């Protein structure tokens, strides 16, 4: 049975700017064919077993010729696969989708074109430039600027294009900016016409320069401005002075590596995005139910005695989640803990309990194990029973201290933390190019497992890049682990919460110089 091909526009770069239908296509694909301009985050949505083929083009080489890409789509569909061809921006605007679709048609293969948000309008918008304006420009032209001057002259009627619309948008024309400016001036545009070039729009490397037709070539040369960029010509460029909203966001210009388990990363990722940063998810750990018979037996024994505990201490959101999973699987409910005092370490853990109908006692000071003793130590009595449901990597300090105080502790391992980092060549490239500006660690296990993953993928060279990055830790224990591993911890949350971690990142970015990928 022949498969089907979806020719999907991925948008300008920010993964959130893909359409809902585009995301749905990626999620159901058996094979995905993608290029350099597609965000690597899209690949996180593919189902297990999906074939991934990179066909991106770099300035100095072509990974695969266009004719070969066309044939690849045909071949994959003839294998019966649902294929997604993921293209930056909108596939119908200088995306050569017509050539790909034509060959699919000639081979009798079903296909759909899924439009995307074109960079010709979205990239200027992120730079504070609306391409039309009631008082300044009521029309728009989108023109390729990528070709050689002689080919540009054959394709573009400069005498007509120059004044055809209020705004002219040239795609991929940085190297030809001098020639483009000369032609527009020669055919009647004022040399003082405003021009903006927006590079890597909607991404962490977004950069904008502004000039006029008369001086923009010199500005490009002196600043070392490089492709890829969108060129906007017209009076709408003046709007940027008041409307450059993206650059005012607290984390604008920063790509931040998120290493925590994907099941826990959503809050951190969302906050980074809301504040103008670009999160790069690379989960290095995963939490799973206990696998050894010994751990399972101990868990069952602990849950059989739920009505005997005087205290239950939850030290993490994971502890809450897995506790209730086991509770449900064992056919029990929370009424078994009616006689116990339930305490939570940290506001996130407390919130997870409240979502399940439990109002816990909450620490007011330190959001870690020591805080439990500080808060409730005077109320604990020798001989009382304590349940400590937590992961297999929990520190020994708390149960040891409770035992020293004469309490009887059941320290039950209700989940395990395992390494799950997969090789990620895009991440290696970003590290090598200085494209990772900060790395966040939310536990000691994220530190050790990221280091192991980078050692496996790139050895000492990658580890050196990690040492050059800004390191942000959620608390002192995590920071100690990072320092012991040779990392330079420059940021640490005031409280062991995601929001506090975000706050120190925003403060850091106020004065941090921008770094850009070439």
Residue 238's closest CA among 291, 192, 289? Answer: 192
- The Cα 418–Cα 310 span in angstroms is 31
Task: Considering the candidates 4, 51, 172, 244, report the single residue annotated as catalytic.
Answer: 172
Determine the Cα–Cα distance for residues 252 and 269; give it in Å rounded to an integer. Answer: 14
The proportion of the chain whose per-residue pLDDT surpasses 70, expressed as a percent, equals 95
**Tens of pLDDT, residues 270-329:** 999 999 999 999 999 999 999 899 999 999 999 999 999 999 999 889 999 999 999 999
Q: How far apart are CA 469 and CA 463, in angstroms?
A: 10
The predicted pLDDT at position 516 comes to 44
| DSSP structural state of residue 89 | B
Q: Mark whether 172 is an active-site residue.
A: yes
- CA angle at 17 for the pair 11 and 23, rounded to the nearest 5°: 85
d(CA 231, CA 238): 14
pLDDT of residue 1: 87
Choose the weakest-confidence range: 8-17, 304-313, 367-376.
367-376
For 334-355, the pLDDT digits (tens) are: 898 888 999 988 888 899 999 9
Name the active-site residue from 21, 51, 57, 289. 57
In this structure, of 40-54, 214-228, 503-517, the range with the lowest mean pLDDT score is 503-517
Residue 61: what pLDDT?
A: 53
Q: In this model, does residue 451 exceed pLDDT 80? A: yes
Q: What is the pLDDT of residue 517?
A: 38
pLDDT of 56 strictly over 80? no
pLDDT at 382 over 80: yes
- The model's pTM is 0.86
Per the annotation, the verdict on 460 as an active-site residue is no
Q: Are 439 and 470 in contact (CB under 8 A)?
A: yes
pLDDT value for 394? 86
Mean per-residue pLDDT over the chain, rounded: 91
357, two tokens: 């109908």
Q: Across the strands, what pairs with 471?
A: 439, 489
On whether the CB atoms of residues 29 and 83 are closer than 8 A, the answer is: yes
Q: Which of the four pLDDT bands, split at 50, 70 and 90, describes residue 364? A: low
| Nearest by Cα to 280 from 413, 427, 173 | 427
- Pairing between strand 207-212 and 194-199? antiparallel
Residue 334: how many CA atoms within 13 Å on its side-chain side? Answer: 14
Query: Per-residue pLDDT for 180 more than 60?
Result: yes
At 215, is the pLDDT very low, low, confident or very high (cuts 50, 70, 90)?
very high
Give Cα separations from 230 to 143, 174, 244, 279, 506 (angstroms): 10, 8, 16, 23, 28
- Measured between alpha carbons, how far is 489 from 475 in angstroms, rounded to an integer? 11
Q: What is the pLDDT of residue 518?
A: 38
Q: What is the pLDDT of residue 513?
A: 59
Which domains occur in the chain, in start order? 4-117 (3.40.1010.10), 121-247 (3.30.950.10), 255-284+420-509 (3.40.50.10090), 293-417 (3.40.50.10090)
Max mean pLDDT among 48-62, 362-376, 436-450 falls in 436-450
Considering all CA atoms of the chain, what is the largest pairwise distance in Å, rounded to the nearest integer? Answer: 93
Query: Is 332 among the catalytic positions?
Result: no
């Amino acid at each position: 049975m022949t498969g089907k091909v979806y020719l999907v526009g991925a948008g300008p770069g920010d993964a959130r700017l893909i359409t809902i239908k585009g995301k749905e296509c990626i999620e159901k694909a058996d094979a995905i064919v993608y290029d350099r301009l597609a965000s690597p985050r899209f690949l996180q949505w593919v189902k297990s077993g999906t074939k991934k083929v990179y066909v991106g083009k770099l300035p100095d080489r072509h990974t695969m010729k266009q004719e070969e890409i066309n044939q690849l789509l045909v071949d994959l569909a003839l294998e019966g696969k649902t294929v997604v061809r993921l293209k930056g921006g909108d596939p119908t605007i200088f995306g050569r989708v017509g050539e790909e679709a034509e060959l699919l048609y000639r081979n009798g293969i079903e296909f759909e074109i899924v439009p995307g948000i074109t960079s010709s309008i979205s990239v200027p918008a992120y730079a504070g430039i609306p391409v039309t304006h009631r008082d300044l420009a009521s029309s728009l032209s989108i023109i390729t600027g990528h070709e050689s001057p002689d080919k540009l002259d054959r394709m573009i009627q400069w005498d007509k294009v120059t004044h055809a619309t209020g705004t002219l948008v040239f795609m991929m024309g940085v190297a030809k900016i001098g020639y483009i400016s000369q032609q527009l001036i020669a055919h009647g545009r004022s040399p003082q016409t405003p021009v903006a070039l927006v590079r890597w729009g909607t991404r962490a490397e977004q950069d904008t320069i502004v000039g006029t037709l008369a001086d923009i070539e010199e500005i490009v040369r002196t600043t070392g401005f490089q492709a890829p960029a969108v060129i906007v010509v017209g009076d709408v460029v003046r709007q940027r002075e008041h409307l450059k909203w993206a650059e005012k966001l607290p984390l604008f210009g920063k790509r931040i590596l998120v290493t925590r388990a994907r099941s826990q990363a959503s809050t951190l990722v969302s906050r980074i995005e809301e504040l103008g940063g670009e999160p790069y998810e690379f989960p290095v750990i995963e939490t799973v139910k206990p696998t050894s018979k010994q751990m399972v037996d101990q868990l069952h024994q602990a849950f059989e005695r739920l009505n005997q505990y005087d205290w239950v201490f939850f030290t993490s959101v994971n502890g809450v989640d897995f506790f209730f999973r086991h509770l449900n699987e064992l056919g029990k409910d929370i009424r078994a803990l009616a006689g116990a005092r339930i305490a939570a370490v940290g506001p996130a853990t407390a919130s997870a309990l409240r979502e399940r109908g439990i109002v816990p006692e909450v620490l007011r000071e330190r959001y870690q194990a020591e805080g439990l003793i500080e808060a409730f130590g005077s109320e604990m009595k020798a001989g009382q029973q304590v349940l400590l449901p937590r992961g297999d990597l929990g520190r020994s300090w708390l149960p040891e201290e409770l035992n020293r105080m004469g309490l009887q502790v059941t320290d039950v391992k209700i989940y395990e933390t395992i390494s799950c980092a997969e090789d990620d060549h895009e991440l290696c490239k970003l590290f090598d190019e200085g494209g990772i500006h900060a790395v966040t660690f939310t536990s000691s296990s994220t530190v050790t497992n990221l280091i192991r993953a980078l050692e496996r993928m790139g050895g000492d060279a990658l580890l050196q890049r990690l040492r050059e990055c800004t390191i942000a830790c959620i608390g002192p224990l995590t920071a100690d682990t990072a320092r012991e591993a040779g990392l330079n911890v420059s940021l640490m949350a005031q409280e062991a919460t995601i929001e506090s971690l975000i706050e120190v990142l925003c403060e850091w970015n106020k004065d941090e110089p921008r770094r850009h990928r070439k």
